[in-house]
Structure formats: C-alpha cells, structure tokens
Amino acid sequence: MSNQFLEFEKPLADILEKIAALREASKGDTSLLKEIQSLEDEELKLRKKIFSKLSIWQKVQVARHPQRPHISDFIPRLFSDFDELHGDRQFADDASIIGGLATFENIPVMIVGHEKGRETSEKVKRNFGMAQPEGYRKAKRLFQLAERFSLPVITFIDTAGAYPGVEGEERGQSEAIAQNLAVMSKLRTPIIVVVTGEGGSGGALAIGVGDHVAIFEHAIYSVASPEACASIVWRSSENAPDAAEAMKVSAQELIKIGIVDEIIPEPSGGAHRDYEEMATSLKRSITDALSRFDQQTIEEMLESRYQRLLRIGS
C-alpha cells in the first residue's frame, strides 16, 4: 500500500520521493547507498519531530487518515477462529458493525466494532462506519450472547457517529443507542473498549461503555464532530479546528479528565505507518486488561464500572 500524506506531512513526502528516486537509480550501484541512508535518517528525525508537536486539529486528521487500520485489519492479526455473526433478528444485518466470536491468546471472546471500509464500493456497503439502528441492535444481541457464555467483550470504536438519516430515525436510532447503554452498563462480563480512530457522538458511545477504555495515541473521542460543533457555535464548519481545541478531543486531553483509562502508543508517523507494530501494542493492552479482570468478582467489576462512570467530570 503506497503512503498517502496529509498536508502537514508534505515535507516527509518530498524526502521519501527523493529516496525512491535514488533507490531506482542505485540498482547495481552501491555508491548511492550512503546518501540514501542519510535521507532515511533525516526522514525519521523529521517524522518524529512533526508527530511530537501535532495540534489537536492535526490529530483529528490523523484519526481520519484513509489508511488508518480498521477492525478488519486487527482481526487476523490479534484473533484466531473468528466466526462473524450477522443480523439483529428484527430487521436486517448492518455491515457497518462487525461482530462475532473469536479466540484471543487461547481465551474465547466476543468482538464488536465499527468498520468504515477501504475502497469506494466497500465504504458504501459499510455506510462509512455510520451504523443504523439494526447495527446497534446486532451489537446488543452479541453483548447478551457473550454474557450468557461468560465471554469477555472487546469493542473497537471508529465512527463519525450513528447514521443521521430519516431511515434511522424511523427505525428508532436513539432508542437503539439508549438500549445499548443500559445493557452494557450492567453486563455481567468484562468489557474492554478501544477507540482506534474517530469516536464520534452516540454512535461511538453505543458500544463504548466498558470496564477499561483505551484509546490510540492519535485517535479522538467526542460528543460530536468538530465540524458539527463549529456549525452550532460559530454557524460555520470552517471553525472546526477551533472547535477541536475547545472540545479537548485528543487522547492526551481525554485521559486527564478520566474519559479514557489508557493511551496506546502508535508507531512513529501514526498507526497507518505500521499495522504490525500497532497490533502488537494493542495486543499488550488487551492482555493486561484481561489479566486484571481475573482478580475481580462479577460484583466487584460491576461496582467498579459504575464508579468509573460516576467519576467522569467530577
């Protein structure tokens, strides 16, 4: 997969273009290897410098990067024996929510997450990760199935929000989200939540109530998108960068106020630069979280989940 670059990454693109040209010219000629190595060192140094000083709006752009890894990228890297389950048993199957049974490090688990899609046709099929009510009802069905068989639940959040169209409202979008909040708050099995990209509005929160909430280093999580907030406050979506700053949507701000419990570090340049390294960091996080649940009774876990929610904003 060829790298796509955001506006603030253009200096990196220029260096990498030079490196590619030199590699092409150096075939069978070792005299250029030293210059290539020098440019690679320069690119790495510049990349670390750029990503150590990202503004919150730049983090929003990284969280939305078209090559950012999705749940479908993590499933084969982290889980085995994945068996996808479909449908809400009421209306239809929603492809924007992927869920099913899997094995994580010899532990049977239930995984549920948003999938935005990669190519245009898949994005349309997945509705760009914006779930309809049947998507959240499917998720609720899988949560309750996990509880019945005492399976830990792992959710992956990556959505701009629930689908805001007329069809969703007709089929009870807000009720479906509210039902999920109620079910997850009292689910008698551990829940690990991971915000991998964009966590927007009730569409994210509908699979976001958990015992341990982790977030990728350059992911975002908010009550509304910066554009929606800007449209409400300033009557213009052009003020989205100001809204992002004011809303404190970045992982570093969210952990200060107790919305998330852990920041999972990303590879230099963002999660999209190295799927394998990102999966390794995520695997470590999930393993640590699951091990802590072994030391709690169900009642202690539920009380801890309740107290965690009460602490937010206190």
pLDDT in tens, 222-237: 999 899 999 999 999 8
Tell me if 117 sits within 8 A of 125, measured CB to CB: yes
Among candidates 236, 234, 240, 226, which has minimal Cα distance to 198? 226
- Specify the number of domains making up the chain: 2
Handedness of CA 228, 231, 237, 239 (dihedral sign): negative
> What is the bridge-based pairing of β-strands 191-200 and 220-222?
parallel
Full domain range(s) for residue 175: 59-311
Last residue of a domain, one of 37, 53, 69: 53
* pLDDT, tens digit, 9 for 90 and up, residues 83-132: 999 999 999 999 999 999 999 999 999 999 999 999 999 999 999 999 99
Say how far apart CA 262 and CA 245 lie, in whole Å: 21
Q: Strand pairing partners for 102?
A: 109
Say how far apart CA 219 and CA 206 lie, in whole Å: 18
- pLDDT above 60 for 209: yes
Which residue reads 């690679």 in tokens?
40
Question: Is 2 inside any structural domain?
Answer: no
> Domain check: are 18 and 65 in the same one?
no
At 279, list the tokens: 């999966």
Question: Is 217 inside any structural domain?
Answer: yes
Question: Is 123 inside any structural domain?
Answer: yes
> Domain check: are 35 and 165 in the same one?
no
> Domain check: are 84 and 200 in the same one?
yes
Say how far apart CA 46 and CA 312 lie, in whole Å: 37
Question: Is 1 inside any structural domain?
Answer: no
pTM of the model as a whole: 0.93
Say how far apart CA 271 and CA 12 lie, in whole Å: 16
> Domain check: are 28 and 49 in the same one?
yes
> Domain check: are 39 and 99 in the same one?
no
Q: pLDDT at position 28, please?
A: 65
Q: pLDDT at position 30, please?
A: 73
Please, what is the Cα angle at 290 between 289 and 292, to 5 degrees?
70
- pLDDT above 60 for 1: no
Question: Is 18 inside any structural domain?
Answer: yes
CATH number at residue 292: 3.90.226.10
